[in-house]
Each structure stands twice: as C-alpha cells, then as structure tokens.
Amino acid sequence: MRVAVPLRHSYRLLNHGPTTLIASAAGGRRNVMAAAWVMPLDFEPPKLAAVIAGETFTRELVAASGEMVVSVPTVAQVDLVHAVGSSTGRDADKFETFGIGTEPASLVAAPLVVGCAAWLECRIVDEPDLAERYDLFVAEVLAAWADDRWFHAGGWDFADPLARSLHHVAGGSFFATGERVDATTRKRPR
Amino acid sequence: MRVAVPLRHSYRLLNHGPTTLIASAAGGRRNVMAAAWVMPLDFEPPKLAAVIAGETFTRELVAASGEMVVSVPTVAQVDLVHAVGSSTGRDADKFETFGIGTEPASLVAAPLVVGCAAWLECRIVDEPDLAERYDLFVAEVLAAWADDRWFHAGGWDFADPLARSLHHVAGGSFFATGERVDATTRKRPR
C-alpha cells in the first residue's frame, strides 16, 4: 500500500543512490524519463539535485511547470526504465506507448508511476544558471510516498527481490540493490 | 591491480550511486570523510557533484586546495566508511587514528585510500554561490583509477562479494551493490 513518508525521512528514499524516473506535466502534455544522476541535497526542508539534459522534452515540461515527480522503480520494472530512458516523449505519450500506469500526485500535476517503490513530489527551485551551465536542477520535496511493503519504520526492506531498486551503470545494464550491510559500530538512524 | 580508467568511462565508477570517501589535503593537513551525496554531472570532460557540509574539516581543506579524491569503498571497508563518516579529522589525523593506508594520487595532493575499488582525482570548479547556498561542489575529474579485478572492459564486475560497493541508507546501515540486471532490450554501452 502506498503510504506517506515523513518529509524528514524522505532523503532515505534516494540516499542509497538508486536510478529514478522523472515524471513531468505541463500544458496538457506529460512525460517520463529515466535519471540516474539524482541525489539528496538537504534534509529539512528536504531537497534533491537532478540532472535533466537540455534537449529533452522533460526539460521543457519541468521548466514550464516548475514541478516534477521523482519515482524509485524496481527490478520488475527494468525494461520500462530502459524503454523510457532510450526514447523521447516529444512525439508520442510514453505512458501510452509503453502501457505505464499512473496515479495522480497530491500537490503537483506530474503523475506517480504505478509499480514503483517510492515517489517524491517536487517543486523546482529557480536556479537558471545551474540549469544552463550544468543541466542541474534543485528541487524541494513537497510530499513523499513509499510502498509500505518495501519501506517501513523509516527504512527500506526489500523482502521481494523483484521490489529492489535499480542502479544504472550504462546502456541498459543495471545492478539491483543488494543485501544489507551494517557497520558493526552503527548507531540507530535518526 | 590499480589501472587507469579512460576519462570518458569515469562516470561509470559513480553512475550506480555508491557511497564514496572524499579525501583532501592542504597546508600539511589531510582528511577523509564519507559522502553518499555524490553523483556524475557530465561525461566529457567528466564532472561530478558532491555535497560537503559547511562545518566539516574536509570543507576547509577542499576550499584551500581546490582538489579532492573521491574513492569508491567496498563492503570489506564498511566499518572504515562508518568510522570516517562519524568523526572529525580536525583534531587528529583519521588516517592514523583508523589505520587507513594511502597511496599518492597522480595529479592532486589528496591521497588515494588503499583498498577501495575505484578513485577519481578531482579539481574543484569555482562555484562559491553553490557552496554557500547548498554545500554543493562541482568538480572536474582529472584522472580515474580502478582495481582491475572489479572494474574492467569499461564495466564493474564484482566477482568477490566483499569487493562490492556500498550504498548508505542512514546511521551506518548500508546496502551492498547487488546482482546485475540487464534490460532485455539493452544496447552495448558506449
């Protein structure tokens, strides 16, 4: 079941470096792309940084709306991730082309991609220099959600191997998130 | 054996989102910290983005030298990663405190941490606004290295489970990089 994640814990949805999907919507159009270059940027209020290349349709929709949804897809979705990462949505709606289910977000127009393990609804922080020089976007996380089968009590628990997140290397080759490794001296996470 | 990685492939050392170590040196002092908020930012010339909090000793050394080395530590080093991520090097040299071996880098003063799977020698791009507002640093990768047992032919191959990279969640709890998952439609990586 999709449940709200407290904003102070939302960085944990991205802290392990998963490849993401970025969904966008503006002017009656929508799109979704794959993005590996995404990371947390601050805890509270939570922010993230994401690279969105200049020529993409996502870039147009994100610039027009000032919003996006960052989702954390699973091993079961690897072909979907590669497909939306290897095609443009400029000429045809990728959600229809690839049969991708969506749910409405709570605070932004961009949709949540059904089947992902987590979702972050974001508002873009206006930084035109960063976008122009580095294709880099800073966003504040307004709302966060996770599938409570895989993220509960403030942490990931990938009980099903197909629910694990993905880590793209290059050209459609990924690693799954692997087994948990705790430092022997670890403290209880805050 | 440690071998040079072509700069055009150096993004692949970080593309899967591993937690890193950031080593720094200036004015006869040196330091090493753990950093999960690091990601590639460009292919050629390769750049990366890294968050280095304002109050850290690393921040001082990186600001003073304009250089750093980003290393990719392994599962075998999880206690080392947590130790250098939970302590300051301001009062005592962490390399001595924790018995961390180093090798000299080729182009920067900061050292390579022995036992890691990969290393990126970096020069900081001067972006004072980014540092002040977001604790965010942009760096150009000047040289890249990998242990050729775990990275060869342009890709990772974590044959030994203890050589896999780490993905921090919170408080000393990590995931190892898991098994390879290829999209069924994948192309040969460029």
The nearest CA of chain B is from the CA of A101 a distance in Å of 19
pLDDT for res A190: 47
* A30 interfacial to chain B (CB closer than 8 Å): no
- Best probe of the A interface among B173, B182, B184, B188, by most A CBs < 10 A, is B173
- Read off the pLDDT of each residue in B167-175 and give the average, rounded to a whole number: 96
Structural domains of chain B ordered from first start: 2-176 (2.30.110.10)
pLDDT for res A185: 75
Contact B18, A17 (CB under 8 A): yes
pLDDT for res A187: 62
CA neighbours within 13 Å on the CB side: how many for A153?
4
**Which pLDDT tens digit goes with each residue over A141-170?**
999 999 999 999 999 999 999 999 999 999
Beta strands in chain B (DSSP E): 2-4, 20-26, 29-35, 38-42, 47-51, 67-72, 102-103, 112-113, 118-125, 136-147, 151-152, 155-156, 166-170, 173-182
What rounded mean pLDDT belongs to chain A? 96
Instruction: Please name which of A148, A175, A150 lies closest in space to residue A160, comparing C-alpha atoms.
Output: A150
Reported confidence tier of residue B135, pLDDT bands at 50, 70, 90: very high
Instruction: With a cut of 90, say whether residue B186 has pLDDT above it.
Output: no
What is the amino acid identity at position A73?
A: P
Q: Which of B17, B79, B184 has the CB atom closest to A183's CB atom?
A: B79
Q: Tell me the residues of chain A between 33 and 62 that have a Cβ less than 8 Å away from chain B.
A: 36-42, 47, 49, 51
Asked if the Cβ–Cβ distance from A178 to B179 is below 8 Å, we say yes
The overall pTM is greater than 0.90: yes
- Chain B residue at shortest CA distance from A151: B169
Q: Are strands B118-125 and B67-72 parallel, antiparallel or unpaired?
A: antiparallel
Asked if the Cβ–Cβ distance from A185 to B130 is below 8 Å, we say no
